């Protein structure tokens, strides 16, 4: 679906990506994780063709994203963290913007609006909605767009707790084998049971790109009274040390995303070698 090869990008003299490589397969909901400033939003803009790198290749379904051809744009929906909604009513927005997406499904759009409890507000100008309502509106629109690739940057920011649950439900409903969703987030608890595989971006490199099945088969999380010097990662809490070690038994366990992220950032090369059978 998405293939990035030897990509370099900088802001002025500040090099963000150097020889970046990434492959995203069709039919998955990817989680793109990284520290603030790691380049998650920039990477989504490069995939959408909004930013052009110094060097390298980025293709979506074997089409260069940098050319931003009409056939490319009508099959991609990008929701940035900061967005704009014009002073239009929803019916006007549907005609104006929905027409840009050949597979936009009006029936599903209104179903998603009902799920988000927004239908009663659709006679208002969209610019008059609250931040959370605007975010839910654009999420509903994107999920109904019919595009095969959705790029969602911090989609749960501005959502209250019930809306976050509704978001997870709607994404699951809208997912299909020929659709790919990339969710960039630092609110990992909001999407923990939704995303798979996980991509971790750090210091301009893809440290990790693996399925949760592979991760849980190779890593084990335990809580121990004392710090384990052989651990890949450990952090102290009220109940003791939450410790990540090699899963020698091979039975699938379960690791939460915050612990996984911290483990990969702390010892990413060791974990990659472990998963690849090199250690």
DSSP codes joined into one string, 63-114:
EEGGG--HHHHTTEEEE-SS----S--HHHHHHHHHTT-TT--HHHHHHHHH
**pLDDT score recorded for residue 277:** 66
Q: How confident is the model at residue 9 (pLDDT cuts 50, 70, 90)?
A: very high
Question: pLDDT per residue over 22-70, tens digit each?
Answer: 999 999 999 999 988 889 999 999 999 999 999 999 999 999 999 999 9
196 DSSP assignment: B
Q: How far apart are CA 68 and CA 184, in angstroms?
A: 21
**pLDDT score recorded for residue 214:** 87
Q: List domains and CATH numbers for the chain.
A: 2-208 (3.40.50.300), 211-275 (no CATH)
Q: How confident is the model at residue 98 (pLDDT cuts 50, 70, 90)?
A: very high
**pLDDT score recorded for residue 137:** 97
State pTM to two decimals: 0.93
* 8 Å CB contact between 188 and 174: no
Helices 90-98, 131-144: crossing angle, 10 deg rounding: 40
Pairing of strands 180-184, 29-34: parallel
**pLDDT score recorded for residue 192:** 87
Q: How far apart are CA 257 and CA 277, in angstroms?
A: 22
* 8 Å CB contact between 232 and 265: no
**pLDDT score recorded for residue 247:** 85
List all residues 6 or more positions away from 262 whose beta carbon is below 8 Å from its beta carbon.
Answer: 233, 235
CA distances from 61 to 9, 29, 146, 276 (A): 22, 16, 16, 27
Q: How confident is the model at residue 207 (pLDDT cuts 50, 70, 90)?
A: confident
* 8 Å CB contact between 183 and 150: no
In 3D space, the residue among 16, 33, 18 whose CA is nearest the CA of residue 199 turns out to be 33
Between 6-10, 61-65, 98-102, 210-214, the lowest mean confidence (pLDDT) is in 210-214
- The residue with greater pLDDT, 249 or 279, is 249
Q: What is the mean pLDDT of the chain?
A: 91
Structure tokens at 246: 């090699």
Question: pLDDT per residue over 113-145, tens digit each?
Answer: 999 999 888 989 999 999 999 999 999 999 999
Q: How confident is the model at residue 204 (pLDDT cuts 50, 70, 90)?
A: confident
Question: pLDDT per residue over 157-180, tens digit each?
Answer: 999 999 999 999 999 999 999 999
Q: How far apart are CA 201 and CA 184, in angstroms?
A: 10
């Amino acid at each position: 679906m998405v293939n990035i090869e030897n990509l370099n990008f900088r802001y002025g003299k500040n090099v963000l990506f150097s020889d970046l490589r990434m492959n995203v397969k069709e039919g998955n909901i990817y989680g793109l994780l990284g520290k603030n400033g790691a380049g998650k939003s920039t990477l989504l803009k490069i995939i959408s063709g909004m930013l052009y790198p110094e060097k390298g290749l980025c293709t979506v379904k074997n089409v260069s994203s940098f050319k931003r051809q009409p056939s490319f744009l009508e099959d991609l929906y990008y929701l940035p963290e900061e967005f704009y909604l014009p002073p239009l009513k929803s019916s006007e927005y549907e005609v104006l913007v929905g027409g840009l997406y050949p597979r936009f499904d009006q029936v599903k759009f209104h179903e998603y609006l009902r799920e988000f409890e927004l239908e009663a507000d659709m006679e208002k100008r969209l610019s008059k909605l609250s931040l959370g309502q605007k975010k839910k509106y654009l999420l509903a629109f994107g999920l109904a767009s019919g595009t095969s690739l959705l790029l969602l940057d911090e989609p749960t920011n501005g959502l209250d707790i019930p809306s976050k649950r509704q978001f997870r439900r709607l994404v699951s409903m809208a997912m299909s084998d020929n659709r790919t969703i990339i969710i960039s987030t630092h609110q990992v608890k909001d999407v923990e049971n939704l995303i798979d595989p996980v991509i971790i971006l750090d210091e301009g490199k893809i440290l990790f790109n693996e399925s949760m099945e592979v991760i849980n088969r190779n890593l084990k999380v335990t809580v121990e009274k004392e710090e384990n010097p052989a651990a890949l990662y450990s952090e102290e809490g009220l109940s003791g040390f939450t410790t990540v070690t090699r899963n020698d038994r091979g039975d699938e366990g379960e690791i939460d995303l915050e612990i996984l992220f911290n483990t990969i950032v702390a010892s990413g090369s060791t974990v990659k070698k472990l998963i690849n059978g090199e250690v």
